[in-house]
Chain A
Amino acid sequence: MNGLVAYISRRIGITLLILLAVSFTVYLIFALLPYDPASLTCGKNCNDPGIIEANRKRLGYDKPFFEQYWVFLVGLFAGRTFGEGAATIYCAAPSFGYSFQQHACVTDLIFDAIPVTIALAVGSLILWLVVGVGLGIIAAKYRGKIWDTLSTAFVLIGTSLPTFLTGLILIVFLVIKVDWSPFPAGGYTAPDEDIGGWFLSMVLPWVTLAFAYSAIYTRFVRSQILEISTEDFIRTARAKGLSDGVILGKHTLRAAMAPIVTMAGLDFAGLLGGAILTEAVFNLPGMGRLSLNAVVDIDLPVIVGTTILAAAIVVIMNMILDIVYAFIDPRVRV
């Protein structure tokens, strides 16, 4: 058990280091940009250099880089105050800074956006796992038959059609051209307001996002199953006279599970950072839209905040998966 504890603590340590490196790099990249963050805060009033200087001071961009980064890190754990006098702004911990363009603390913007993205990611994850694993199994079981051909066609279309086109085509030809369509043409309804409306507003985004992923998963699951079926323990099972169903359910699928879960975990983590295209096409106010609009508006605090958060989710998910494996498979711990 000691090995496990050591492994986990080492893994957490590495994760923290990567997180620090990522946050530093992101902060550095955006500090090196040819933008003056202070001059992005005052619109057309920026013709007056005094105003730029005042805002530079208020936002702390007048300090040297390392101090800025340190203040940013401290703000993550202790909150941060901007400016002085009547127009003081306080952003509570974990503070990613203040967006002058959206007039809000970045953390508040993220807290508003992330439930939408979670709803989108969870729904489409379920959908693509069901479709992808299901079709993959069917295709493998009926290899070379019509089902296999159909699923191959599905895979090819799914991997060839860019997501934004899937979304646009769904909206135009399923919502607008069809009078009785129950789905809205984009937009988000909060579930606590109208749960039915929420569900309807999420169906097409789920389908759009899951379409591409389930194609990839179908292909992956099919090849995994076929690969495993050639391995010795399956041959042994078959030799023992077990039925195909039992072999598939008890042995093949169990063995195929680990790589599928890993892949799904990483894809899911990636999505939490924002499904930019799907959110843009369906007008969902999630992390993807938040970060995309921040880039468009050169809203640096939001860009830095969302990038670091998205990276952190991926890094932490990687760590969780590794630790889970360490529990399952003792060999990893070395």
Chain B
Amino acid sequence: MLKGKKSLKVALATVTATVLAGGLLTGCAPANAGGTITYLTNAESWTHADPQRNYTGMHIAWFGSYLQRTLTAYDRAEGAAGSAVVPDLATDTGRSSNGNKTWEFTLRDGVTFEDGSPITCEDIKYGVSRTFATDIITDGPTYAIGMLDIPSAEDGSSTYKGPYSTDAANDTASFDKAITCSEDSKTITFNLKRAVGDFNYTVTYLSFSPVPKAKDDGDQYDMHPVSTGPYKIKSYKVNDSMVLVRNDKWNGSSDPLRANRAFPDKVVVKFGQAEEVRDQIILADKDKTAVSLDAILPTNLSAVFDDEGNVLEKYKGRALNVYDPYVRYAAVNVKKLNCLPVRQAIYYAKNFDSLITLAGGQAFNGDAADGVIKPLMGLDYAKTGYATDDKDWKPEGNIEKAKALMEQAKTECPALYARATDPKQGIFYDIPDTETNKKASAIWIESMEAIGVTMKFNYIEPGKYYSVVLDATKQGDLSSGGWAPDWANASTVIPELFTAEGGFPMSQNWEDPAYAEFKKRSDANLTEPDRKKQGAEWAALNKYAMDQMWVIPGVFSKTQEMWGSKIGGAYFWEPQGALSFGDLNIIK
């Protein structure tokens, strides 16, 4: 998942849902109800508030907790229990047939939008249709396009172009066949083009949430999405704030997941907080009911945690230091760095030690990674033999080994060797423009100079970073990246990162001689019914990608979160890699 944080640990077999008895939970206000929770963030706005355009774990967690309901959702619980899928708008976690190619969900009674009108199958179908309008509804996950049984045009795009298209050739008929509604508009059926055993995880994405057609105004819907959850938007101003108030049309009896847990009366998000100020407000407990939406600045970690990364006594119960679901790495643009010894030389020369120290040290930044799958993935992870398991690898960089590889490159690929060692050209590394990254670039340049390579940096505004580097024409030779599985199956990692059809194909490796074999195995493994065998194969493909050095590994990263002293109910919600926003409350 793009910059998002997502996790793991879930045994994949369809989870039997804990269906809560709705009736029991209605009516009574929760004990810690009331007050205002204030979220602080450095961002100028939400990347997107439109449910079909949200694709970051933290954002999905936030909007999913307060405003948007989906057919199924992750349970709101600490630890592995949180990764179980439970029914939300639907009465159960979905029924599959036709060898996992047909999925059916039935809507609960009494589910409504914020204006009180009932949510129907048509509303969900309309919501999903928006994903296909890729010219307007940008940045969201495109699983609907990849999975629904709709033909592809010659250029590979879907023949259905979404609800806004005025083109007569728009293939609405196929879309109408791919998603069908029952007579009473209570049951929705998805017809898929390939077997997807975990489609009920896919529909936890907000891109499968309902949108009332009458309220949809395309691009501008991003500013005023209609709520289906316990809160609704009172105001939303970019560069300023978003204010949520209670949605009086929301009925707890139709929402067992959120009933009794809609604590605050008001939720405020303050945008554009200077990072230092944001941290200090919470560190000094200036606003006791404030929560930071961003990770703590590395420079402030020592105030909160000891050297081992444990929370200091003063901040007990107010901060977290956990592994997030990310793996960070430098994606290699294989089209440009089309020479294995050069890629290996970069890996061996890289000064892991200094880079990790700069980012706060191992206790906070994480451990050197040996691939793109995190050990927490269980079934899908096996050691690749790189980083700490590689006898030639040194944490501060093995300059000798890297120089030898460059010598090898000199004869194997003279053109690239010449460019990499030419001070006037060199190789370009894309990196988000932050103060820490600026220092990191100095460390990189130093390591590369030691092996005679000129490295230059493209500093890209953090907010624009991925839209620039995902544009193949603008991408440099290396691009810093981070990825986490969309759900607990490396099917959302390996093919996403390393195949041409993937959602995050920064490696551009499809002209590499080693690609054909890889692609064949990856495709076959997508529909492998035996989850154990599938996992072992993902692990093998992870090693395969590392053998080709399609990424320069980085870290299995950690994150640090913080909140005010009057905030209760905070824990790390693993599946979204974010705080348990929906359970936050104000301690009386």
Task: Report yes or no: B135 in contact with A51, Cβ–Cβ below 8 A.
Answer: yes
Q: Jot down 26 A-B pairs with beta carbons below 8 A, ordered by A.
A: A43-B466, A44-B2, A44-B467, A44-B470, A46-B471, A55-B135, A85-B165, A86-B164, A86-B216, A87-B133, A87-B136, A87-B218, A103-B219, A112-B237, A171-B274, A172-B276, A176-B280, A176-B284, A185-B281, A186-B277, A187-B241, A187-B270, A283-B272, A285-B238, A290-B239, A293-B44
Q: Is A329 an interface residue (CB 8 A)?
A: no
CA distance A293 to B470 in the complex (A): 21
A26 to chain B, nearest CB (A): 22
Q: Known: A87-B218, A89-B218. Is A48-B273 also a contact (CB below 8 A)? A: no
Residues of B within 8 A of A41 (CB): 138
Residues of A within 8 A of B239 (CB): 113, 285, 289-290, 293
Residues of B within 8 A of A296 (CB): 461, 463-464
Q: Is A84 an interface residue (CB 8 A)?
A: yes
CA distance A51 to B166 in the complex (A): 14
Task: Report yes or no: B164 in contact with A85, Cβ–Cβ below 8 A.
Answer: yes
B470 to chain A, nearest CB (A): 4
Residues of A within 8 A of B134 (CB): 42, 45, 48, 51
Residue from B136, B157, B466 whose CB has the most chain A CB atoms within 10 Å: B136
Task: Report yes or no: B218 in contact with A281, Cβ–Cβ below 8 A.
Answer: no
Residues of B within 8 A of A293 (CB): 44, 239
Contact of B217 among A39, A87, A109, A290 (CB under 8 A): A87
Q: Encode A29-48 as 1/0 by CB contact (under 8 A) with B.
A: 00000000001011111111
Residues of B within 8 A of A176 (CB): 277, 280-281, 284, 286
Residue from A84, A88, A168, A285 whose CB has the most chain B CB atoms within 10 Å: A285
Q: Encode A257-277 as 1/0 by CB contact (under 8 A) with B.
A: 000000000000000000000
Q: Known: A176-B284, A283-B273. Is A45-B219 also a contact (CB below 8 A)? A: no
Residues of B within 8 A of A48 (CB): 134, 157
CA distance A181 to B163 in the complex (A): 53
Q: Which residue of A lies closest to B213 (CB)?
A: A86
CA distance A172 to B165 in the complex (A): 52
Q: Known: A45-B135, A86-B163. Is A171-B277 also a contact (CB below 8 A)? A: yes
B178 to chain A, nearest CB (A): 20
Task: Report yes or no: B218 in contact with A47, Cβ–Cβ below 8 A.
Answer: no
Q: Which residue of B lies closest to A176 (CB)?
A: B280
Tally chain A residues at the interface, Cβ within 8 Å.
Answer: 46
Q: Is A213 an interface residue (CB 8 A)?
A: no
A155 to chain B, nearest CB (A): 28
Residues of B within 8 A of A186 (CB): 273-274, 277
Q: Which residue of B lies closest to A58 (CB)?
A: B135
Q: Is A100 an interface residue (CB 8 A)?
A: yes
B342 to chain A, nearest CB (A): 26
Q: Encode B1-13 as 1/0 by CB contact (under 8 A) with A.
A: 0100000000000
Contact of B240 among A46, A85, A188, A298 (CB under 8 A): A188
Residues of B within 8 A of A187 (CB): 241, 270, 273
> Top 7 A-B pairs ranked by shortest CB distance?
A87-B218, A285-B239, A51-B135, A87-B164, A285-B240, A85-B166, A43-B138
Q: Which of A285-327 contact B (CB under 8 A)?
A: 285, 289-290, 293, 296-298
CA distance A75 to B467 in the complex (A): 30
Q: A45-B138, A54-B135, A283-B274 are in contact. List 13 more A-B contacts (CB 8 A).
A: A44-B467, A46-B467, A46-B471, A48-B134, A89-B220, A171-B277, A176-B280, A283-B270, A283-B273, A283-B277, A285-B237, A285-B272, A297-B464
CA distance A51 to B132 in the complex (A): 11
A204 to chain B, nearest CB (A): 12
CA distance A39 to B280 in the complex (A): 38
Residues of B within 8 A of A44 (CB): 2, 138-139, 466-467, 470-471
Q: Which of A214-248 contact B (CB under 8 A)?
A: none
Task: Report yes or no: A104 in contact with B164, Cβ–Cβ below 8 A.
Answer: no
Q: Which of B186-238 contact A (CB under 8 A)?
A: 216-223, 237-238
Q: Is A9 an interface residue (CB 8 A)?
A: no
Q: Is B472 an interface residue (CB 8 A)?
A: yes
Q: Which of B234-283 contact A (CB under 8 A)?
A: 237-241, 270, 272-274, 276-277, 280-281
Task: Report yes or no: B222 in contact with A47, Cβ–Cβ below 8 A.
Answer: no
Q: Is B45 an interface residue (CB 8 A)?
A: yes
CA distance A50 to B44 in the complex (A): 30
B270 to chain A, nearest CB (A): 6
Residues of B within 8 A of A149 (CB): none
Q: Is A102 an interface residue (CB 8 A)?
A: yes
